[in-house]
Structure 1
Amino acid sequence: MRGLILPLIAGLVVAGAFGLWLGLRAVLPGETAIIDAQAARYVAETGGQPTDCAARPAAIPGVRLIVTCRGDWAVAVDNWGREVTLPDLGPNT
């Protein structure tokens, strides 16, 4: 009986750790984390300040936020904070 309990406990610990790892990966980043990441990208690309950036929710399917910095730099991001390429709608839209 002893030879069965130790491997069973080890298996349960490994399964629990794996489940926890998968669960943490499934948690979406918060809006603050997304804005901070895009602000850091803006600073690296332009030398501006992170406080130049703000975000607003998007009404576009597949886009969570639109982060803008100083009005001349903008990026649309999905639920995971990845950049989303939007089609060019032209100057009259």
Structure 2
Amino acid sequence: MERERIMKAPKNPSTQPRLFQVIDMEDLVPPHHILRQINEAVDVSVIHDWVAPLYTEKTGRPAADPERLLRLMLLSYWFDHSERELYEILPMHAGYLW
């Protein structure tokens, strides 16, 4: 029994590395970033009302979020990205993900 206690290292939580890192997207995008300004100036949530008659919950699979699709199209237009470029840049750009 004494030998087992000697062989085990004491558990010190301060030396234990964190398994997951929590990142707040709000902290990654500066307050005066152009995408924050655009978000305040342009209300794209109205697209849900515009396209509601085109969707049904009775048939087919769930549709992609029309607001997200519009935001992606606007990013592509404003920053002059092709669709392929946008999808390559998207995972690496905190402002786009925000």
TM-score of the pair, normalised by structure 2: 0.28
Structure ranking higher in helix proportion: 2
Structure ranking higher in strand proportion: 1
Greater relative contact order (CA < 8 Å, ≥ 6 in sequence): 2
TM-score of the pair, normalised by structure 1: 0.28
